[in-house]
Chain A
Amino acid sequence: MWTELCLCNSYAESSRRTLVERPAEGKQGRRPGPGNAPHGPGREECATVTVAAGLVLSFVSALAVNWAYSREHDAANTLPPLSARRRSSRRGT
C-alpha cells in the first residue's frame, strides 16, 4: 500500500510539475509522450487517494502523539517533584 501511495504521490507530483512548467515552454506546446505524465480523471483520483491517505496518517499520528503524551503525563504525576535541592538532601541522608 505504501509503495502504491508513493508511486501515486510521485505521479501526482510529476503531473503538477508538468502543469507548472508548461507555460514556460512557449507556444510550441508539448506533445504527450513517455516522459510526460498524462492528465485526466486517473490523475485526479490518484491525487485524491494520496491526500486522503495523508489525512488518515495525520489522524493516526495525532492519536499516537497525544496518547504517548497522556501516558507520559500520568507517569510524571506519580513521581515526586524534581529539584536540585531535593536531590542533594537525599544524598546527604
Chain B
Amino acid sequence: MGWLVYLAALRLAPLALVQTIGASGIAVLAVVETGGHPERLRRHEQLGAAAAVAGLVLVALSLVGSTPTDQRPHPIEAVLWLGACGGAAVLVAVVRTRVSHAAALGASAGLLFAAGDISAKLVVFGGGWVVVLVPLVATYALGSIELQSAFQHGDALSAAGIATLATNAVPIAAGIVLLRQTRPGGALGVLELVAFGLLVVSATLLSRPRGQTHG
C-alpha cells in the first residue's frame, strides 16, 4: 500500500523531491514512537530527527515561487544509470577492501534499491518505459537478499546506515542529473541542496537494522 502511494507520488512530483521527503518519514515516526518526547531518543537519533525537521523546512523554503519538474531522459542514459548502479552494486559486493564485508554488502543493497527507485520513476512515465518494470523487480528483489546477507555478516548498524545513505542519495542525484529536474537558482538552489543533504544524513542516522532492539 505504502509503495503504491510512493508510485503515485512519483507520478506527480520529481524523483529527487519525493526521495527527500520520503527520507524524513523515519524521523517523524521515530518522534511519534516516543509519544511526543524526542528527548527519549538516543543522541544520534535526536540529531537525525533535528536534521530531518531542518531539511523539511529548507525544502519548503526552496520551493517558494518555483515548480520543479522532471524531464523524460534519453533511454540510453537511463540504461547507463541503471547499469552503473547494478555494476557498482556487484563490484562493492565482490571486491574485498578494508571496509567490512557487511558494510560493503549494505552499500551494494543500497545501490540496488536506488536502481529500483529510479526504475519506479521511469515506469510511471508510462508508454514504452513500462519495460523498466523488469529491472525494477529484479533490483528490489536482489537488494532485499543483499541486505539480509549484510545483516548476517554482522555489523548490521553500519550495513543499514550505508544502505539507507545509498538508497536516498543516488536517486536524488539521478533526479537532478538524469531527469534534469528544474531547480531554483541562487540562494534557493543552495537551500535545496542543503536540504537534500540534511535529509539523507537524517535517514542514515536513524536507520535501524532488522533484529536490533530499539531504545
Question: Footprint of B on A, CB under 8 Å?
Answer: 5, 9, 12, 16, 20, 44, 47-48, 50-51, 53-55, 57-68, 70, 73, 76-77
Contact = CB atoms under 8 A, between A and B. Distances in A.
A2 to B, nearest CB: 8
Which of B2, B11, B12 neighbours the largest number of chain A CB atoms within 10 Å of its CB? B12
Interface in B1-40: 1-3, 5-6, 8-14, 17-18, 21-26, 28-29, 33
A66 B67 contact: no
Nearest to B12: A54
Contacts, number: 97
B2 A64 contact: yes
A63 B29 contact: yes
Main secondary structure of the interface of A (DSSP, over half): helix
Contact of A64 (B1, B11, B208, B210): B1
Contacts of A16: 69
Contacts of A70: 29, 33
A75 to B, nearest CB: 11
**Main SS class of interface, B:** helix
B58 to A, nearest CB: 14
A51 B33 contact: no
A16 B71 CA distance: 9
Interface residues of B, number: 33
A77 to B, nearest CB: 6
8 contacts: A16-B69, A50-B12, A51-B14, A54-B17, A61-B3, A62-B21, A73-B208, A76-B211
B13 A54 contact: yes
Contacts of B210: 73, 76
Contacts of A76: 210-211
Contacts of A9: 11-12
A68 to B, nearest CB: 6
Given A44-B67, A54-B18, A64-B2, A59 B13 contact: no
A21 to B, nearest CB: 13
A66 B25 contact: yes
A5 B11 CA distance: 10
A53 B8 CA distance: 10
